[in-house]
């Protein structure tokens, strides 16, 4: 992997990731941009004990532009975009409309391909591996920022999820705090250790592999399963079989196998509701150990993938119980979801 950093016209960092060392990146951002001005701040909720980012400047972000005005496509034919090059493999750059910025963290955009009409599922294993390497590199670099406590690479896919740009891309949030979901995992991890002397993540993975009814697919180094208490209609957790705290700690064997299993999983997601249905909307994100957590070495890196579509043409809305009280009700039994994802393999 070759990494080429540069700066956009407004001072934001952009990094090209290329599979060949021979690639030269010299394009310059010629847009007349003013420096980015943000209003990001974080506020602590004393009742719930969590933190909320306030970012009013995001109201003006780009919203569903036509394909010929996509800001994530390469700069071509006199049209300048966020990526100065006329073509690229994988690109990461600072978000122009960040939820977190400065001493309050950082937000980055990850473009998986220059092809506007592609998707992550349509990538080659080689390109998916390059994305994995970019995620790993950004985790390493962002962990060095004094304001960053936790790094979350993720992809929102589909208008139903709230995506405002159709180009295949994800994001990386570098939080200045431990997120509420991770805090709950750390609490459960500590309680399980105190009660049993064992690691909770190890036990969860061992139990799922032993039961087998919720296993979706398994390789030599990874296991994908629908969790016993899945919150979402179709939800899959992908764990490395050897527990590691973050992407940095994955060994080469796990890195080599990941693209094949993950692409298979995403393609199955697109078949859940039938070939005549639009692509399945989903959220996919890496859960990594916070850099400051005492339990860091006990945390298990894993990817969580889920869709809000519960059946053809119908979405799972977070209404009164879920949004008001955080108490989920799932309409699809996890065993049935796993069975469906096994059924659509290789169709």
CATH 3.30.428.10 residue ranges of the chain are 2-175, 180-343
Residue 62, pLDDT score: 67
CATH topology of domain 2-175: HIT family, subunit A (3.30.428)
The β-bridge partners of 50 are 45
- 169 carries an active-site annotation: yes
Q: Which among 57, 169, 221, 237 is annotated as catalytic?
A: 169
Cα of 131 vs its chain's centroid, Å: 11
| CA 100, chain centre distance (Å) | 16
Least confident of 6-10, 145-149, 272-276, 284-288: 272-276
Is a pLDDT exceeding 80 seen at residue 59? Answer: no
| Binding positions for Zn(2+) | 70, 73, 116, 167
pLDDT digits (tens, 9 = 90+) for 163-218: 989 999 999 999 999 999 999 999 999 999 999 999 999 999 999 999 999 999 99
* pTM reported for the whole predicted model: 0.95
pLDDT for the residue 34? 87
Domain range 180-343, CATH class: alpha beta
Taking the C-alpha atoms of residue 8 and residue 31, their distance in angstroms, rounded to an integer, is 9
User: Is 255 in a helix, a strand, or coil?
Assistant: helix
Which positions make up the binding site?
Answer: 70, 73, 116, 167
- Residue 275 pLDDT greater than 90, yes or no: no
Q: What pLDDT sits at residue 61?
A: 66
């Amino acid at each position: 992997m070759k990494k080429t950093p540069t700066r956009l016209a407004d001072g934001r960092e952009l990094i090209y990731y290329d599979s060949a060392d021979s690639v030269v990146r010299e394009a310059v951002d010629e847009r007349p941009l003013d420096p980015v001005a943000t209003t990001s701040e974080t506020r602590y909720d004393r009742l719930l004990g969590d933190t909320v980012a306030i970012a009013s400047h995001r109201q003006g972000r780009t919203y569903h532009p036509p394909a010929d005005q996509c800001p994530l496509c390469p700069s071509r034919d006199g049209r300048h975009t966020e990526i100065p090059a006329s073509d690229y493999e994988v690109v990461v750059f600072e978000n122009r409309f960040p939820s977190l910025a400065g001493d309050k963290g950082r937000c980055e955009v990850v473009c998986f391909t220059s092809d506007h009409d592609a998707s992550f599922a349509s990538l080659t294993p080689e390109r998916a591996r390059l994305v994995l390497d970019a995620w790993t590199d950004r985790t390493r670099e962002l962990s060095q920022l004094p304001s960053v406590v936790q790094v979350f690479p993720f992809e929102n896919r589909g208008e139903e999820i709230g995506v405002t740009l159709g180009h295949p891309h994800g994001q990386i949030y570098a939080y200045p705090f431990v997120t509420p979901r991770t805090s709950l995992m750390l609490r459960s991890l500590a309680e399980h250790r105190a009660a049993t002397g064992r690691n909770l993540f190890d036990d969860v993975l061992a139990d799922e592999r032993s039961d087998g009814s919720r296993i979706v697919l398994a390789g030599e180094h990874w296991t994908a399963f629908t969790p016993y208490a899945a919150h979402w209609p179709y939800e899959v957790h992908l764990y490395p079989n050897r527990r590691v705290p973050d992407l940095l700690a994955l060994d080469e064997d796990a890195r080599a196998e990941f693209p094949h299993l993950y692409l298979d999983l995403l393609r199955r997601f697109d078949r859940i509701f039938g070939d005549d249905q639009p692509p399945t909307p989903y959220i996919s994100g890496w859960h990594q150990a916070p850099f400051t957590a005492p339990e860091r070495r006990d945390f298990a890196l894993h990817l969580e993938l889920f869709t809000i579509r519960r059946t053809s043409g119908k979405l799972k809305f977070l209404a009164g119980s879920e949004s008001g009280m955080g108490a989920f009700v799932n309409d699809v039994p996890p065993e049935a979801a796993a069975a469906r994802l096994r059924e659509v393999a290789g169709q």
